[in-house]
Structure 1
Amino acid sequence: MSETSDRSQLKVVLPGLLMAMLLAMLDNVIVGTAMPRIVGDLGGVDHLSWVVTAYVLGTTVSTPLWGKLGDLYGRKTVFMTSIVLFLIGSALCGFAQNMPELIGFRAFQGLGAGGLMVGAMSVLGDLVPPRERGKYQGQFAAVMAVAMVAGPLVGGFITDHADWRWAFFVNLPLGGLALALLALRLHLPKRRTEHRIDWLGAALLSIGVTALVLITTWGGTQYAWSSAEIRGLAVAAVLTLAGFVFVERRHPEPIVPLSIFKNRNFTLVALVGFLVGFAMFGAITFLPLYQQIVQGASATNSGLLLLPMMAGLLLTSLVVGRVITKTGRYRMFPIIGGVVMVGGMLLLAQLDAHTSKLASGAYMAVLGLGMGFLMQTTMLIAQNSVEIKDLGVASSTATFARSIGGAFGVAAFGAIFNHRLHALLGERLGTAAAGRLTSGSGGGARIDPTTLAQLPAPVRTAVVDAIAGATSGVFLWSVAAAALVPVLAFFIKEVALRGGPPVAERAAENTLVAQEG
């Protein structure tokens, strides 16, 4: 397959790849906005968190598996399978009749979602050499920005004007169009070889990751960190992940080849991805609450208030991508991104009850600029650090590291936020009153705009000040994690980006090539 045909094919299938990415990013945001209506119809408010947890579990557990399966059986087939599973799960969620059904279907939907982002990035890696990949990854960053802003708007519209089931059914036309484009126009070579699936490694990884996600989800909320349940999950995570490493070192075709971590650049960007997920996703989780409680924004408009951050991310992603394509140099960008990200976190640590929307928007724009230097560049370095045959594993492992970092960050900063909130309320209102306001599941669950409006003016002022103080405290703590990003990035070695088309390289390596589809 020639470089010209690769590029012409990419122009046709790129919209399909972008739509798959949009589905992966958009779903949770839309569903989160529609959750009050879902609970009102199905009941089961005590199981509300499991609607999110089930999806996160399915996505996180399956992400490494999809990458390896794509390497073994061809990325087109595996990518399309993940889309089909996601669409089936979406339809089942839309037809759910009770909360247990919805939770089960969300887990199934998450299994498919785990392959959407990994599949899109891996297919892009097959069609575009690393030297030119940056400018296309900037378009993927644009999809992330669109999802962050459009998600609350679409979710709010569905909640206000349609049945909540359309929060799931909306995936079907988008996913169907992406599936049709990929089925008809995407052609990738694959090897005819016999494979031995590492089922034991897959099982151990799934159990270990599930335990980690449950620890970060339940720790400090449903169960105390020192409880027998959390300790038991920690022991299970350690034992199964240790067993996973043992199995992977001996299996001929491991789910995650540990040899890829011998490459210094890959290990460094995996650690950078973990820290970016930890600091960024963990901290910005609390921005919508600040915007709604302190700045008085509606749930829908809080998505629009994130626009400066997304604009900053989009701007730098597009510029950096084109600079990398033109110069072939990339080492400076994660270093710069880490420094700018720390600056954005320090600015957001200045948030208080009197910070204007203009000022907070400027702070978020700085954070977005830093994110834009990092998000796609780290994926590019990860993919360029491995052989073509391990491209899917590299993509899934990099995505997995960022996802796990985000889960840990949300848990850690959630504990910091809740502790700080309770302390500030206690100073102003007394311990007993603070306990009554923050005793809901997840710490501040009883503090929302409706409840706030019903409180006496002095109490309302105290709550607003406490939310602002707790939010700024989260960003101040996040600086510690973010500061490690440029330090690790400094040790990344500038390795020449492969300039030849990866598809042609793989075809040359294998004499028996069959066309998929």
Structure 2
Amino acid sequence: MPNGGVALGPSDEISRPSSPAKLVPSNNGSDAALIQPPTIKDEISSSAAAVSDDEAAPSPKPEITYLHGTRFYLLTLVLWICIFFANIESSIVSTSLVTITNGFNGFSQADWIVSAYQITYTCFLVIWAKIGDIFGRKRALLGALVLFAVFSGGCGAAQTMNQLIILRSFQGLGASGAFSVSSVMLYEMVPKEKLPMYGALAFTIVALATVIGPLMGGAIDNNTTWRWIFLINVPSLVVAIILAYIVMPANFPHHGKPVSLELNSRPMNPPSPSPFFSLAKKIDVIGAVFLLAGAFLLLTALLEASVNFRWSSATIITLLVISGVAWIAFFAWEWYLSRSSLAQEPIFSWRFVQNPIWMGMLVSAFCLGVPMATLSIILPQRFQAVNGDSPLEAGIHFLPLTIALPVGSFVGNIIFAVLPKVPPSVFLLAGSAVELIGAGLLITLPSSASDSLPHSLYGFQILTGFGAGIVFSILMMVTPRCVEVRDLATASSCIVMFRMIGGAIGVAVSGSVVNGRITASAISSALSPDQVHRLLEDISQISTLSPAQQVIVRTALAQAFHTCLIFVAVLACVQLVSMCSIWRLPSAAKTK
């Protein structure tokens, strides 16, 4: 055998599409010899030629090696654990916010418990997707799961409101990575023809986790301490960490690719710098800072307005202005980075902006996030603060939406799989229309505390949840049709990121409306300043008021929640209009 050649058995494979080396069969036909191994200089030259002639002869991508048997099922279980617990943490606190904030005397900061998680969860989704691309799926997933588990335990041990809010933000950081990397891996677990059914189960778990949270949170709060809302994550996440470490290949999903042939030959150049620092240079740190600053300052302004500051105050105006500057700087930087030769890979590729169909999908995802997140927070709060329900009773009254959303998600994926010839935009428009009808009918709920909740409330929730579930699942499934293969990881995270940004803004706006109504003149004239302050810290203080004062406060809160429902319906209408921009969705996934 020639010097530097490698003997290969008949079952071995070579997946080096860019290498000019050739296989020559031996005389006995039992094995083959690789001759003329390329030098590093040859590889660089051939790579440069391939780049310059990319349009004429694009280099094939490394093929994915799919898992089978026990490893496939165990890794699927890991993905489901990641997806479920990352999403349930967005809503599980909704029915326990009153209990948590009453214990810390901080009802006016209730929405911070939700938003602190959503800010970091949202802003780091694309960052984690890039980390998975650069450092590998296994390292990214394990790192995210460790963060998620550690800070979930920290939230359960928090002793003050400020501690809980800070720990929730770090919990969101870990959950963001767990969900982002898992979402990308879904596309790499099965072949394209099996993806609709496989995705149906996964995206149903997303929807189920989003809305089952309030019911689970209410049950935990009724039977034990609220701390188990966070501690319940830890055992499952530890199991996921162990399974991922054992069953997930190191180079997933390209673990079937043989070791580079140059490793068997003598290196011709000095060793390169540390791989970690070389890879870290690709992370768009500047873009991440601008994105986090823009989202954090915007939500801070929305949450603090009408509570500690007036809308016209210099503090709120300054926060809004700086947030706007940060958002402009973010998009300007991403535009520059997309066109420059810098090593960093942009968080938000400018190719997305030049794709009107994709931008329409992002707008739709943003609008979809408002009803999915806002309703899961304000409806349980209304049932408790206005109607006097316990946390568990509030979760039961919220059950129709809890069931309808995952059912709609599952149905959407099944329709996508069995009716491939029907344009997906038809189902997106139909789902958006059903969601809008349900959200519009929710506005008809009584805005007075003296009226009992009608039974039609359950039907309205079903319509809203079923329509939203269809839209969410199909938006995720059609993503490969709208973006290039190289952008798939970032694009799938962007869909979730825009949905979460919409949800965070929806929660912040609704919180500002409710807190603003508590401090409004109608309540302030009937209650002393000390009573108003106690209400902002502990909403259960309503029961300590006189019957006449209770009616005034509950009526004001009912009107505030009614305003929030109008806000949800308006965003559902915008979502339906935005669907018109994606009418011409591609009929197949992009392969470029």
Q: TM-score range by the shorter chain?
A: 0.7 to 0.9
2: distance between equivalents of 1:13 and 1:468?
A: 46
CA-to-aligned-CA distance 1:124-160 (integer Å, 9 cap, x gap): 0222456643433433344345435653454445445
Give the 5 Å matches for 1:26-175: 26-31=88-93, 50-96=112-158, 98-128=160-190, 132-144=194-206, 146-148=208-210, 150-159=212-221, 161-162=223-224, 164-175=226-237
2: distance between equivalents of 1:163 and 1:469?
A: 31
Aligned to 1:407: 504
Identical columns (%): 27
**Residue 480, structure 1, aligned to residue 570, structure 2:** yes
In structure 2, relative to structure 1, the CA distance for the partners of 1:312 and 1:247 (3 Å cut) is same
- The one-letter code of the counterpart of 2:324 is V
Aligned to 2:525: 432
Aligned to 1:514: none
2: distance between equivalents of 1:96 and 1:248?
A: 38
Give the 5 Å matches for 1:112-511: 112-128=174-190, 132-144=194-206, 146-148=208-210, 150-159=212-221, 161-162=223-224, 164-187=226-249, 188-189=252-253, 195=279, 196-251=282-337, 252=342, 253-328=345-420, 329-352=423-446, 353=448, 354-356=451-453, 358-417=455-514, 426=522, 432-433=525-526, 439-440=532-533, 445=536, 448=539, 450-492=540-582, 493-498=584-589
In the TM superposition, what is the alpha-carbon distance from 1:182 to its structure 2 partner?
2.6
In the TM superposition, what is the alpha-carbon distance from 1:40 to its structure 2 partner?
7.4
Structure 1: tracts of 5 or more residues without a match: 500-504, 510-517
Q: 1:16 aligns with which of 78, 88, 100?
A: 78
In structure 2, relative to structure 1, the CA distance for the partners of 1:346 and 1:95 (3 Å cut) is closer
- The one-letter code of the counterpart of 1:331 is S
2: distance between equivalents of 1:137 and 1:219?
A: 40
Q: Does the 8 Å CA contact 2:440/2:569 hold for their aligned counterparts?
A: yes
CA-to-aligned-CA distance 1:421-446 (integer Å, 9 cap, x gap): 777x94xxx861178699449xx747
Further displaced range: 195-204 or 388-397: 195-204
- The one-letter code of the counterpart of 1:262 is Q
In structure 2, relative to structure 1, the CA distance for the partners of 1:67 and 1:7 (3 Å cut) is farther
In the TM superposition, what is the alpha-carbon distance from 1:475 to its structure 2 partner?
2.0
2: distance between equivalents of 1:44 and 1:476?
A: 27
Aligned to 2:51: none
2: distance between equivalents of 1:438 and 1:143?
A: 43
Which of the pair has more CA radius of gyration? Answer: 2
Further displaced range: 80-89 or 38-47: 38-47
Q: Does the 8 Å CA contact 2:207/2:469 hold for their aligned counterparts?
A: no
- The one-letter code of the counterpart of 2:526 is A
Q: Considering only aligned residues, what root-mean-square deviation do their CA atoms show, in Å?
A: 3.5
Scaled by the length of structure 2, what TM-score is found? Answer: 0.73
2: distance between equivalents of 1:346 and 1:235?
A: 33
Structure 2: tracts of 5 or more residues without a match: 1-62, 261-274
Aligned residues: 494
Scaled by the length of structure 1, what TM-score is found? Answer: 0.83
Q: Does the 8 Å CA contact 2:91/2:211 hold for their aligned counterparts?
A: no
Higher helix share: 1
In structure 2, relative to structure 1, the CA distance for the partners of 1:473 and 1:40 (3 Å cut) is closer
Further displaced range: 276-285 or 214-223: 276-285
2: distance between equivalents of 1:52 and 1:313?
A: 20
- The one-letter code of the counterpart of 2:445 is L
